[in-house]
Structure 1
């Protein structure tokens, strides 16, 4: 029956189309066709039609370099009367300082200090933007990039892109944060001075992100410390490896197993123990550095020593090398004519539950000594803060070798 209905409908549609066409032709022939009011019809297909003008997005009055230079001013302050924390930040001239801390009693280094200056914009409709400068105490060696990345992660913020590393002591990042039912787009810069990190962040209501985009980034990028301390975060100790090398290391690391039985092959280890678990059989090592200094003699050559180091990794430490992550030069002192820094993903074959970790290997050579130093550490993706601390500590040790 359905087939019959379908067969009936198709001819009917055909007849209707044919009849309609015939009627149109007949009317045209007899002159009975009604006039077409083309002027009342919209464009049929839209080809060549001009696009309707779009509403222009609003931009802040400070939206380029000339307007930034003309309409902003430098805000300079010295928190806690410390020159190493004195900062400068460019903001619009009509912003007001809501709260500032210039001096305090007690030891500023003994605690997290918190915000020291808050600036507020005029009202933008029913909303406003703020800029906050904050001083925080650092306990361990870490780069600005890794500190900032860990800060965003542990604070529960939603990063917008990667952290930008300007140098080892300066970084910046963007993120979104939500509280009390409102969301804000934030851009933050971190500057390290000695054992402190000073941050400046510009918070904008999320719906004003595009409106304030240029001003937000330009202002925070202008943030700088006027007299930063270019010093290690931690107290440094000195270790002399007999007559081969001397280096500094962070006080939180412990020297272990120095081996001077062979004066031509000097060995020492540094360990980063878990706090409260640094003694006895239950001590937990969170980072491990081993330094080997080999006196150059007629019977020694670099390639043979590299083979010996490879055997130490694979046989003594039971490590399986998975892939090389990077290769280049370290920041070691210029006395070394050979200088190589390589990073590898490795897996411990002896572990009950093998996990990927990292080996940072530095090989140095001068006319008297070969120096092999390596760091064994968890990966950034597994323990960001610990990885950042270990890597920075290792690099500081290498840089200090004399």
Structure 2
């Protein structure tokens, strides 16, 4: 075990030596949206017992969809607003896998893959100023992505002023942010959570002038939101690739596998490509499997990666971060991932290269992910990052 730890440290040094020379710094105007404050906690202002006493519980199943069935507590005196989802006509569509409803106008409504659709709304007691409200929106997912990354894309898309974020799990995050509607600023606390193939956003809006006295109720309400029948499913169909009968990994069906013939079990490779239109490459994962009997195998692979990037007109820049929080097969010793900026010949910081080094008894695995950068196309980056994570975790010696 000590030998493996020493080797792991040596491999990390090799990567740093290869890629830190000639590093490129990000401009000061660029902001890493993943570095944000933790969401404030106001629970001391209202105990769980007091909140339960001064609130009512609501249990609903919008669209007669089990994945949308929820339960939430809201302050007493709130009222539910009908939004035309009573008459439900559930239709099967093999291509889109969406649900349609008739709201009485004859206009079909859908749980869309592209936009958040409102499925429930509640208002607080009347007052002269804008009312507080609680609303629930849903969207159907078509790619694997974490709740955090999905929400961060929404923040960028909508231009929210994000005040804090709390990651509960890969499937749920809670956030505090500011939105302006007409001339009124609202402080919004939301829970973003996946259930089945849906992502659901429950949000408690409070006009800024009332937020101080209502913020504890806001927090308790959001924390109380949960699904009646939580279920985790794979969003995308997964395929398996085997290197003979030696080892295997899984990958999403939306990625194209390129696997050359195997002439030697001492060195094997495969490549995964992602393209939305079969013209522009949106992501690339390269997998190299080399025998652990070759003492210079990993160093040679790292040099090959560097040469390959340069031949494509890309230069590796500064280290963006490292990751080791992967759930691996018990026969895989470790997975160490380092993330680097990549620039083209004009200096455009539009790419990232991730390098993973893994080891098991017989082989080293050296994986790379080439992806649009998180600053350039956050949603694409988030989807590619999640695919890379799933590929790493799926390896079975």
Give the TM-score normalised by the residue count of structure 1.
0.75
Question: 1:85, 1:228 within 8 Å by CA — same for their partners in 2?
Answer: no
Q: Deviations over 1:354-396 (max 9, x none)?
A: 4263332222222233222221222222221111111011111
- Runs of 4+ in structure 1 deviating by more than 6 angstroms, as ranges, are none
Instruction: Tell me, yes or no, if structure 1 residue 399 matches structure 2 residue 372.
Output: no
Instruction: Tell me, yes or no, if structure 1 residue 326 matches structure 2 residue 322.
Output: yes
Alignment of 1:223-234 (within 5 A): 223-234=225-236
**Superposed displacement of residue 320, structure 1:** 3.0
Question: 2:268, 2:289 within 8 Å by CA — same for their partners in 1?
Answer: yes
Q: Deviations over 1:309-357 (max 9, x none)?
A: 21012212224353251242422212212x1222222335x63444263
SS across alignment from 2:368? strand
Look at both structures and tell me which one has the larger radius of gyration over its CA atoms.
1
Identify the residue that residue 47 of structure 1 maps to in structure 2.
Answer: none
Question: 1:72, 1:93 within 8 Å by CA — same for their partners in 2?
Answer: yes
Alignment of 1:267-346 (within 5 A): 267-273=269-275, 275-276=276-277, 278=278, 283-296=279-292, 299-301=293-295, 304-318=296-310, 319-323=315-319, 325-337=321-333, 339-346=334-341
Question: 1:244, 1:293 within 8 Å by CA — same for their partners in 2?
Answer: no
**Structure with the greater relative contact order (CA < 8 A, sep ≥ 6): 1 or 2?**
2
Question: 2:290, 2:365 within 8 Å by CA — same for their partners in 1?
Answer: yes
Question: 1:191, 1:197 within 8 Å by CA — same for their partners in 2?
Answer: yes
Which of residues 256, 274, 278 in structure 1 aligns to 2:258?
Answer: 256
Which of residues 68, 82, 95 in structure 1 aligns to 2:51?
Answer: 68
**Superposed displacement of residue 259, structure 1:** 4.5
Identify the residue that residue 35 of structure 2 maps to in structure 1.
Answer: none
Identify the residue that residue 206 of structure 1 maps to in structure 2.
Answer: 208
Identify the residue that residue 245 of structure 1 maps to in structure 2.
Answer: 247
Which of residues 91, 103, 110 in structure 1 aligns to 2:74?
Answer: 91
Structure 2: runs of 5 or more not aligned: 1-41, 99-109
**Superposed displacement of residue 125, structure 1:** 4.4
Identify the residue that residue 159 of structure 1 maps to in structure 2.
Answer: 162
**RMSD (Å), alpha carbons:** 2.4
Q: Deviations over 1:149-177 (max 9, x none)?
A: 1112212322223x322111111212222
Structure 1: runs of 5 or more not aligned: 1-58
Instruction: Tell me, yes or no, if structure 1 residue 131 matches structure 2 residue 134.
Output: yes
Alignment of 1:364-379 (within 5 A): 364-379=358-373
In structure 2, what is the Cα distance between the partners aligned to 1:231 and 1:351?
Answer: 42
Structure 1 residues 96 and 316: alpha-carbon distance in aligned structure 2, compared to 1, 3 A threshold: same
Question: 1:345, 1:356 within 8 Å by CA — same for their partners in 2?
Answer: no
Question: 1:347, 1:356 within 8 Å by CA — same for their partners in 2?
Answer: yes
Instruction: Tell me, yes or no, if structure 1 residue 106 matches structure 2 residue 91.
Output: yes
In structure 2, what is the Cα distance between the partners aligned to 1:151 and 1:179?
Answer: 17
In structure 2, what is the Cα distance between the partners aligned to 1:218 and 1:83?
Answer: 24
In structure 2, what is the Cα distance between the partners aligned to 1:107 and 1:179?
Answer: 36
In structure 2, what is the Cα distance between the partners aligned to 1:203 and 1:81?
Answer: 26
Q: Deviations over 1:38-67 (max 9, x none)?
A: xxxxxxxxxxxxxxxxxxxxx9xx944332
Q: Deviations over 1:92-136 (max 9, x none)?
A: 232111126364422483353512211111124444211111221
In structure 2, what is the Cα distance between the partners aligned to 1:322 and 1:151?
Answer: 27
